[in-house]
A and B are shown apart, each in its own frame.
Chain A
């Protein structure tokens, strides 16, 4: 990575609060352009809140935040976003193609006059890039979770962003699909020079593609290489509770001793 490229995200003493309740603070970190960062942490620790801050959907409670050299603001075309997988109504009578199309001009007033061949091509291109041509014409609600995830990704890509923010794109996918989608996101990010922040529960499907992990837990934020952050010492300190990181023969990592912590946050 050339040193002259400015960082994609710069956070300094960043804090997030929902209403009056502080969620986390002391978020000081930098994400480099083109970097792939997995965002990990227990439920309710404020991972999605971090994305909301980056999208400009809520202001920081304290500290400063820069996204692609600017203060975060809603409607930034340089930032693509795929929210946590919504349950798309099975009977939603809209084909995937039109869903993707909204990623280009959904925020513009009026109707599209005539069929803009330029947009048409961009939609086709985005769908091709996620390999979804076979089912892009079918009603999106009838597709499988993995197929929907690809089309939602295509929607974000159709806007030609420089940064992708993905909230749990691997949730509710089977293990095989988790690996496939993770690899797809990794390939797309590399091919397009995208900076990616991806919220996940399990680091293992992401291990081959992540550069660093950002841990949001217990009111704080930590960033580093997976091997540096996901360690017994680091996580025990972050959680302020004894946890243990185990490794299997494939290099997979498992964090144990977190059940009580997770349950606490879920409640």
Chain B
């Protein structure tokens, strides 16, 4: 924050009430916390399934495809979110229809991703004088969110979480045990498409906070950490959502006091939390291996 915007240096100290008052003093910060929390919740919940289904790269690609959509929409005079949703949802639908065949298609996905970025670059160039626009979409612009956008984010975020609650059990079944789930009457293919469309919405929301390039920090990192600490799906989902909210809040808070981009702080917190989680979970696993004698040899053999 440039200093001349503020009457006095922002308060930071042991008085938590005063800290919170300080952080919520400005409307832009209130909006950032509101939108950030909703986005983090939906990203954390869907992230758990993204990691479980091995779709991290697909989620990443989806956000890049969204970049072409967002810049294209601006070029046509529409709001970026419209293009984001249109592109990510259609791409998500196609990916979902491919289902399991999507696995191991890193080259194809990567090429589509690169081409989308190229398209976005073209649209940005055609929409003259708009480097700020592209930067905003690529790296997020959480401090520029209006109260209308907060409302839109709230609706979209609630819908994604609600949709995931509705499909929770069959989605988990189809994710872990596709063949049995199919035999048990779970609409595996329909769920695969539905999941990718829900993911598309979640990704489009998250782009507002962390941008296209940093999406891994909110969708993949919290879930990847959660999966190292619990083998119970319900706890995994909740832990993942809690971590995503924690990363977002911490990032926003730190960014309020320091004149560096919030995307940098959120990704930094996510990255180092993941490193810490890896070290911690390995220590825990080793201790457990010490207790469970028959499991020990195997554990030691496969330790990284």
Q: Which residues of A contact B (CB under 8 A)?
A: 55, 57, 74-77, 79, 81-83, 86, 90, 92-95, 98-99, 102-103, 105-112, 137-139, 142, 155-156, 159
Contacts and interface: CB of A to CB of B under 8 A. Distances in A.
Contacts of A82: 180
B231 A139 contact: yes
Nearest to B302: A90
A83 B180 contact: yes
Contacts of A155: 177, 180
Contact of A142 (B186, B227, B236, B298): B298
B173 interface: yes
Contacts of A106: 169-170, 172-173, 177, 180-181, 184, 186
A75 B185 CA distance: 4
Contact of A93 (B170, B185, B227, B298): B227
Contacts of A139: 231
B278 interface: no
B168 A92 contact: no
Interface hub of B170, B180, B228, B295 (most chain A Cβ within 10 A): B180
Contacts of B231: 93-95, 98, 137-139
B165 interface: yes
Interface of chain B, helix or strand or loop or mixed?
Answer: helix
A154 to B, nearest CB: 12
Interface in B84-139: none
B177 A102 contact: yes
20 contacts: A55-B183, A57-B183, A75-B185, A77-B184, A81-B179, A81-B184, A93-B230, A94-B52, A98-B233, A103-B180, A106-B184, A107-B170, A108-B169, A108-B170, A109-B166, A110-B169, A112-B169, A138-B295, A142-B298, A159-B184
A107 B184 contact: yes
Contacts of A74: 182-185
Contacts of B52: 92-94
Given A86-B179, A112-B169, A107 B233 contact: no
Contacts of A75: 183-186
A226 B30 CA distance: 76
Given A98-B233, A99-B176, A111 B182 contact: no
Which of B166, B185, B227 has the largest number of chain A CB atoms within 10 A?
A: B185
Q: Chain A binding site: helix, strand, loop or mixed by DSSP?
A: loop
B167 interface: yes
Contacts of A110: 165-166, 168-169
A147 B13 CA distance: 55
B159 to A, nearest CB: 16
A156 to B, nearest CB: 8
Contacts of A109: 166-167, 169-170
B179 A102 contact: no
A57 B183 CA distance: 7
Given A81-B183, A139-B231, A93 B236 contact: yes
A70 to B, nearest CB: 14
Contacts of B234: 111
Contact of B185 (A98, A107, A112, A142): A107
Interface string B174-198: 0011011111111000000000000
B232 interface: yes
Given A107-B170, A110-B168, A142-B298, 19 more contacts: A75-B186, A77-B184, A81-B183, A90-B302, A92-B176, A93-B228, A93-B230, A93-B231, A93-B236, A94-B176, A98-B231, A98-B233, A106-B177, A106-B180, A108-B169, A109-B166, A111-B165, A111-B169, A155-B180
Contact of B173 (A55, A76, A107, A111): A107
